[in-house]
């Protein structure tokens, strides 16, 4: 019995070590990508606006994210006297952690996924919606009217656009017949879903812009009226976690778009020389393309008014996605796939 218990314990230890290694293999490159996405954004927007962008720290400014991290690490963490201190310090982690744990179900290639669960789409929706709690907690715990207004704005905005995101995902589930992300990718082998469902692709892109509080929907951080919004009272590393959480969410939403609409790791054409390129390279290229859309939109479009934001979500996207869902269900029924 003791030998059997020792064997089981050894097997569990090996399994835990293997899972930890896989988690680190996903998390560490992701954190590096988050840091250098900030540099890429400043460079891309600089080129679009005929500016240079960061070019002083290291060759071509490549060490700028490291310099920013060192600066924030050594800054003093100041907590307002009237703030709810425990909630105030937990809130930044509540923004960052959901953006990391969602990667557990994202397939990087065929069989390259940490947890290949059947309800992957539902898991993604659940984890991506947890970030709003961090925003609400930070606004409430700061005990200041500007962060609180920014937090309330963010909650209303995220709830509004999660509805259209959910209905868009329902149409993808109907088309693929599965909620498993790997199965959804393989169902796009003949044609990416962004082609037959192009209107839903556009709605999804706009919805993830609003979901991540990015321009032109960065109302919760409106500098002109809210003095940076929900994180106005934060500095040093807690502020850095908000910043990193936003960019980690951008990469996550880009990965979701690549998996659901752009064939994930599949090449554009199933023939040489496209098939010679590893699937993970195609997946990374698609993520980079969607991230470029994020940066392009920020460089070119002005900020929406809040009433315009709500009108677009409830009066345009909600009825449009409902009608598209009914049409998709009818088409799949006629084709005998439902």
Cβ contact 314:321 at 8 Å = no
Same domain, 103 and 218: yes
Using the 3D structure, point to which of 45, 74, 103 is the last residue of a domain: 74
Beta bridge partners of 112: 109
Query: What pLDDT sits at residue 162?
Result: 87
Tokens 């218990």, located at residue: 5
Same domain, 180 and 225: yes
Cβ contact 321:166 at 8 Å = no
Same domain, 70 and 103: no
> What tokens were used for 206?
């706009």
Q: Per-residue pLDDT tens for 243-268? A: 888 899 999 999 999 999 999 899 88
Percent of the chain at pLDDT above 90?
A: 33
Q: Which domain holds residue 2?
A: 1-74
Same domain, 22 and 130: no
pTM (2 decimals)? 0.91
**8 pLDDT above the threshold of 60:** no
Average pLDDT, the chain: 87
Q: Per-residue pLDDT tens for 26-72? A: 888 898 999 899 999 999 999 998 888 888 888 888 999 999 889 98
Query: What pLDDT sits at residue 307?
Result: 86
Same domain, 193 and 139: yes
Query: What pLDDT sits at residue 129?
Result: 82
Same domain, 48 and 92: no
Band of pLDDT at residue 142, cut at 50, 70 and 90: confident
Query: What pLDDT sits at residue 151?
Result: 84
CA dihedral of 277, 280, 283, 285, whole degrees rounded to 10 = -60
Q: What is the mean pLDDT of residues 146-155?
A: 83
Query: What pLDDT sits at residue 212?
Result: 86
Using the 3D structure, point to which of 74, 98, 123 is the last residue of a domain: 74
Query: What pLDDT sits at residue 338?
Result: 60
Using the 3D structure, point to which of 74, 105, 139 is the last residue of a domain: 74
Same domain, 91 and 157: yes
Same domain, 83 and 70: no
**220 pLDDT above the threshold of 90:** no
Same domain, 70 and 141: no
The count of domains in the chain is: 2
Same domain, 89 and 206: yes
Query: What pLDDT sits at residue 322?
Result: 94
Beta bridge partners of 109: 112
**4 pLDDT above the threshold of 50:** no
Same domain, 121 and 161: yes
Query: What pLDDT sits at residue 81?
Result: 83
d(CA 115, CA 26): 12
| Cα dist from 138 to 90, 215, 222, 336, whole Å | 8, 21, 16, 49
Which of residues 334 and 6 earns the better pLDDT score?
334
Same domain, 109 and 68: no
Cβ contact 87:60 at 8 Å = no
Band of pLDDT at residue 5, cut at 50, 70 and 90: low
d(CA 248, CA 250): 5
């Amino acid at each position: 019995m003791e030998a059997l218990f020792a064997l089981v314990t050894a097997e569990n230890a090996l399994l835990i070590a293997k899972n930890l290694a896989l988690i680190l293999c996903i998390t560490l490159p992701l954190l590096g990508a988050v840091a250098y996405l900030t540099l890429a954004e400043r460079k891309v927007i600089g080129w679009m606006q005929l500016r240079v962008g960061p070019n002083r720290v290291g060759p071509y400014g490549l060490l700028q994210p490291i310099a920013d991290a060192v600066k924030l690490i050594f800054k003093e963490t100041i907590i307002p006297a009237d703030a709810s201190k425990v909630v105030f310090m937990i809130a930044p982690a509540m923004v960052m952690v959901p953006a990391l744990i969602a990667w557990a179900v994202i397939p990087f290639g065929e069989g390259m996924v940490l947890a290949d669960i059947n309800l992957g789409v539902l898991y993604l929706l659940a984890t991506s919606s947890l970030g709003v709690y961090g925003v609400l907690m930070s606004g409430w715990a700061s005990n200041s009217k500007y962060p609180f207004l920014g937090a309330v704005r963010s909650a209303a905005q995220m709830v509004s656009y999660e509805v259209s995101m959910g209905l868009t995902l329902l149409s993808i589930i109907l088309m693929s017949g599965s909620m498993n992300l790997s199965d959804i990718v393989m169902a796009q082998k003949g044609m990416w879903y962004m082609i037959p469902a192009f209107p839903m692709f556009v709605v999804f892109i706009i919805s993830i812009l609003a979901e991540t509080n990015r321009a032109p929907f960065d109302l919760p951080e409106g500098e002109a009226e809210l003095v940076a919004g929900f994180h106005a009272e934060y500095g040093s590393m807690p502020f850095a976690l908000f910043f990193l959480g936003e960019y980690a969410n951008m990469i996550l939403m880009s990965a979701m778009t690549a998996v659901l609409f752009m064939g994930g790791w599949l090449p554009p054409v199933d023939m040489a020389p496209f098939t010679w390129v590893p699937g993970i390279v195609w997946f990374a290229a698609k993520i980079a393309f969607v991230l470029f859309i994020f940066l392009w939109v920020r460089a070119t479009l002005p900020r929406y008014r809040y009433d315009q934001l709500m009108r677009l979500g409830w009066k345009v996207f909600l009825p449009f996605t409902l009608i598209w869902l009914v049409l998709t269900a009818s088409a799949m029924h006629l084709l005998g796939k439902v």
